[in-house]
Amino acid sequence: MIETYEIFKNNMMKLEVPVTETDFDQRGYHMEVILTVNTIREFAQTAYEHGFYLVFATGLHVLPENREGVKTSGLEVVYQFARYDRLCRIKARVSVPEDLTVPSICHIYQGANWHERETRDFYGIRFADHPNLEPLLLCEEDKDYHPLLKEEKKLKKFEAVSWPAQHPDIADIQSETLSDV
């Protein structure tokens, strides 16, 4: 795993993509990659060349906020990649810009076709250059209804649903939750 990780990380460095190593026992994936709409295709191509397959692609809806003066849409696309020959899982995420359009990767991973259509169904995220971005799981009449978008009062900040920068000790969490009994 370490070897794969090093080679992959070096190639990511060339793409100038921020890569963070994560605790597999805690999160179930080895690294987190933060992408932009400009780097997602290059990243997918690199992952494909390194023998990664696409596990899934999906969305996440959080509270929109102003980041350095730029208003975000609050939507994220989350990808997961893994390998057949070695244990290595990668989570990649892209913040969706306000025009709700993200480049499609289904020319590299044909399997992404349905995952992207499903994400459009559930979140209304559009994937540029997708060959057939029609409703997949939902029906034609519900084309503009996106069931996984949350109501405004239920939305939480991105920081509130992500791991804190300083990982709390698992033992602390356990003793905290057990005290609820």
Partner 1 sequence: MSESQFQEHNRFFLNMGPQHPSTHGVLLVILEMDGEYVLDPQPVLGFIHRMHEKMGESRPCQGFMPNTARMDYVCALPYNHGYVSLIEKKAGIEVPKRAEYIRVITSELNRVASHLLWLGAYLLDLGAFTPILYGFDDREHILDILEDVTGSRLTYCYYRFGGVAQDIDDKFADATRAFIKRLRERFDIYEKLVTKNIIFIKRTENIGIISRDTAIRYGITGPNLRGTGIAYDIRKNEPYSVYPEFDFDVPVGERGDCLDRYMVRVREMEQSLRIIEQALDMLPHGPVRSKVPKNIKLTPGDCNFAVEAARGELSYYLVGDGTSVPYRLKIRVPSYSNLSCLPELGEGILLPDLVSIMGSLDLVIPEIDR
> Tell me, what amino acid is at 101?
T
Task: Give the β-pairing of 126-128 and 101-103.
Answer: parallel
Q: Least distance in Å: CB of 127 to partner 1?
A: 15
Q: Least distance in Å: CB of 161 to partner 1?
A: 5
> Which residue, 69 or 165, is less far from partner 1 as judged by CB?
165
Q: Least distance in Å: CB of 26 to partner 1?
A: 7
> Which residue, 70 or 159, is less far from partner 1 as judged by CB?
159
> Which residue, 23 or 70, is less far from partner 1 as judged by CB?
23
> Which residue, 128 or 173, is less far from partner 1 as judged by CB?
173
Kind and range of the H or E run holding 151: none
Tokens of 69: 């003066």
Q: Please return the burial class of 75, using the count of CB atoms within 10 Å of its CB with bins 0-12, 13-18 and 19+.
A: buried
Tokens of 55: 């596990």
Q: Residues interacting with partner 1, by CB under 8 A?
A: 26-29, 48, 51-56, 58, 60-61, 78, 80, 84-87, 89, 91, 108-111, 113-114, 122, 135-139, 147-148, 156, 160-164, 168, 170-171, 173-174, 176-178, 180-181
What distance lies between CA 105 and its chain's CA centroid?
A: 13
Q: Least distance in Å: CB of 54 to partner 1?
A: 5
C-alpha separations of 10 from 13, 51, 162 in Å: 5, 16, 26
* Cα(169)–Cα(181) distance, integer angstroms: 20
> Which residue, 14 or 84, is less far from partner 1 as judged by CB?
84
Q: Least distance in Å: CB of 8 to partner 1?
A: 15
